[in-house]
Chains A and B, each alone.
Chain A
Amino acid sequence: MRIGVSPVVAVEEVEVNFGSSRAVDGVTLEVLAGEVLALVGESGSGKTTLIRAIQGLQPVSSGEIIHAATDRDGPGRSGVQMVFQDPTGALNPRHTIYEIVAEGLRIRGEGDDEEAKVAEALSRAGLRPPERFFGLYPHQISGGQRQRVVIAGAMVMEPRLLLADEPVASLDASIRGEILALMRLLVVETGLSILVVTHDLGLAWNIADRVAVMYLGRIVEIGSTEQILQSPRHPYTRALLSVVPETERMDQQILVGEIPDSRRIPNGCRFHPRCPLLQSGTVPAETANRCVSEDPGLMSVDDGWEAACWATVGVRSGSSAPLPDG
């Protein structure tokens, strides 16, 4: 799969504040045409808020979100559609599958060939024959099928970008692969881009071209899936990977505690109070000072690969701290 260079959406220095809490704290990100970008992070990292902002469901406090060639503004951007974590909740229990899939078309006022379009979207989402599903209600189909209906309801709008919020987290293990395969297939078949929010690194390995890791409202590392998942540079990415049960593993680095409150973002590097690298004492004193006092921005590691860490990227020319597993 070749990835086009033009972005379908560009997020520039976006901040989303809830009162004094900075849920998204300066994120710059581009989703390129035809790629799957995985936005990885724990709850409290701001990843869900960020995609809600991209969808227009959440107003941004500052910064800009620029959509390529959108005809309309507001949440009704037909070029951007959403897939939700909980398909059961995302489907109105009182509407039939047909009404659900046709809803977007009706809102946009595209009454022509409604039935044909709905049928095509359903079969494209793997619900075949589509007519069999028209009159059913969400509670009459399985969880995996519900997620397919959500995807069909998004795809009927012919979006350029699909925002998927933990699309398989609430599904059974065996269904998971099927839905992911469907998402990958849609990308290949239609040239769609997908921004998928997940805490599941295996999902990223399964379908993503690029991975961005978020911590406390900021992207701390971004690069190709291979770069991020096989030779991560940021200590937070390393820690996350080390605890994935599926990795034949590095030494486990279980971080103490949880993501701090976004009302009290630590000074300096926001990760420094939990940073295992800093705690190990292998970071030179000069760099360690920087970690606690100066906020690192994303710095280039390699072509298309950036990480926000003074200790592993910031200091070049031989003085950087030794990496634990080389």
Chain B
Amino acid sequence: MSSLAAQRRRATAGRVWSQFRGSRQGAVGLIVLFLFVAMALLAPVLVDARELNPVFARAAGNPQWASPDVFGPLGTDHLRRSVWAQFVWGSRVSLFVGLAATVLTILIGSVVGVVSGFVGGRVDAIMMRVTEWFLVIPFLPLAIVLASVLGRNVWNIIFVIGVTSWPSTARLVRAQVLTVKQRLFVDRARSLGAGGGHLVFRHILPNVSGLIVANATLAVPISILTETTLSFLGLGDPSSPSWGKTLEEAFVNGAIIRNAWWYFLPAGLGILAVVLAFTLIGRSLEEIADPRLGRVR
């Protein structure tokens, strides 16, 4: 790679970053996400992990169903555990599962979608049949089977989510690739002598990246919610707390009837904030990736 090209690449990266900082919604999303990521990473510093243990909680003399003004900062649950501890530690699993499963989903989906749409012909036909096969498999039975066969831990949950949710991404990406492939600039590059790799990486991918990013921002909350679902069904990792598990336990133990809002609200708002942050970031990335969406200044 010539130094001129490298220089240009650095300039582009710099431009994206400065534009991103310039976009208010992107900045807000990034700050919110940064706070949650920091919280997840600093969990061992912020809260003693033993507070998640009911035995420890009882031994510490915590009250049961205490509201935040009785037991700070976020009250306790039916097992006398600190909700704050669950919130902090839960963010780790939720964020990790959400991000990792999304990466897996998007990776499989994009590769299948791009290859299928770009190569076309028989390859496309076979890949799409496989995709449809995955698409029509009922999610829950497969997840239950996989979880019980593979065992209930975080990695398996990620695998289950990734393997079951890529087909819709693949179909979406494939459709977009087919559209972009028809565009005149692809013809132009072809007539300049461009090969498949050049076409895919210089023309197809940049023009479907917006869609992939948008899809990823939607996939993160879905992954987080899927993790919740699996936890709810008792297929979650029993050893680690997550926001989904918190919500489920609050629901099962009658937090709503007891009006113990402090039990479920933090986890719910946490999910909401993370989902919103991803949407904001995704939207402004999309705007930067597509110069035409940029505002007139």
Contact surface of A with B, Cβ cutoff 8 Å:
55-57, 72, 74-78, 80-82, 84, 86, 89-95, 103-104, 107-108, 111, 114-115, 137, 139, 150, 153, 157
Whether B289 lies near A94 (C-beta < 8 A) is yes
Contact B191 A56 (CB under 8 A): yes
A111 touches B2 (CB 8 A): yes
Cα–Cα distance between A80 and B190 once the two chains are bound (Å): 12
B191-A93 in contact (CB<8A): no
Q: Which residues of B contact A93 (CB under 8 A)?
A: 207, 290-292
Of the candidates A89, A94, A104, A153, the one whose C-beta lies within 8 Å of that of B193 is: A104
Would B192 and A153 count as touching, CB distance under 8 A?
yes
A89 touches B207 (CB 8 A): no
Bound complex: CA A84 to CA B203 (Å) = 17
**A82 in complex: contacting residue of B4, B191, B289, B292, CB < 8 Å:** B191
B183 at the binding interface (Cβ < 8 Å): yes
| Residues on the A chain within 8 Å of B132, using CB | none
Whether the Cβ atoms of A107 and B192 lie closer than 8 Å is yes
Q: What residues of B have a CB within 8 angstroms of the CB of A114 in the complex? A: 2, 4
State the CA gap A102–B147 with chains docked (Å): 52
A138 to B271, CA, bound (A): 40
8 A-B pairs with least C-beta separation? A76-B193, A89-B184, A104-B192, A90-B184, A92-B185, A82-B191, A94-B206, A137-B291
Q: How far is the CB of B34 from chain A (nearest CB, A)?
A: 28
Question: Cβ of B291 and Cβ of A94 under 8 Å apart?
Answer: yes
A89 touches B191 (CB 8 A): no
Find chain A residues with CB under 8 A from B184 CB: 84, 86, 89-90
Report the minimum CB–CB distance from A156 to chain B (whole Å): 9
In the bound complex, residues from chain A placing their C-beta under 8 Å from that of B207 are 92-94
Can you name the residue of chain B whose Cβ is closest to the Cβ of A108?
B193
Shortest CB distance A249–B (Å): 35
Q: How large is the interface on B (under 10, 10 to 19, 20 to 34, 35 or more residues)?
A: 20 to 34
Is B189 at the interface (CB under 8 A from chain A)?
Answer: yes
A114 to B4, CA, bound (A): 9
Task: Evaluate contact between A90 and B192: CB separation under 8 angstroms.
Answer: no
Which of A55, A72, A91, A108 interacts with B191 by CB under 8 Å?
A: A55
Compute how far the CA of A74 lies from the CA of B190 in the bound complex, rounded to whole angstroms.
10
Are A103 and B183 neighbours in the complex by a CB distance under 8 Å? no
Report the nearest B residue to A105, measured CB to CB: B192
Known contacts being A115-B4, A153-B188, is A92 close to B193, with CB within 8 Å?
Answer: no
Taking CB atoms, residues of chain A closer than 8 Å to B188 are 82, 84, 90-91, 150, 153
State whether the Cβ of B24 lies closer than 8 Å to any Cβ in chain A: no
B198 contacts partner chain A, Cβ-Cβ < 8 Å? yes
Near A by CB (< 8 A), chain B positions 178-208 give 183-185, 187-195, 198, 202-203, 206-207
Given contacts A111-B2, A114-B4, A115-B4, contact A90 B193 (CB under 8 A): no
CB distance from A81 to the nearest CB of B (A): 7
Q: Can you show 29 pairs from A to B with CB atoms below 8 A apart?
A: A55-B191, A56-B191, A57-B187, A76-B192, A76-B193, A76-B194, A81-B191, A82-B187, A84-B187, A86-B184, A89-B185, A90-B184, A91-B188, A92-B202, A92-B206, A93-B207, A93-B292, A94-B206, A94-B290, A103-B194, A103-B202, A104-B192, A104-B193, A107-B192, A107-B194, A111-B2, A150-B188, A153-B188, A153-B192
Kindly list chain B residues whose C-beta atoms are within 8 Å of the C-beta of A76: 192-194
Q: How far is the CB of B205 from chain A (nearest CB, A)?
A: 10
Contact A90 B187 (CB under 8 A): yes
| A80 closest partner in B (C-beta) | B191
In the assembled complex, the Cα of A72 lies from the Cα of B193 at a distance in Å of 10
- In B73-118, which residues have CB < 8 Å from any A CB? none
Q: Whole-angstrom distance between the alpha carbons of A86 and B206 in the complex?
A: 21
The CA-CA distance from A39 to B188 in the complex, in Å, is 20
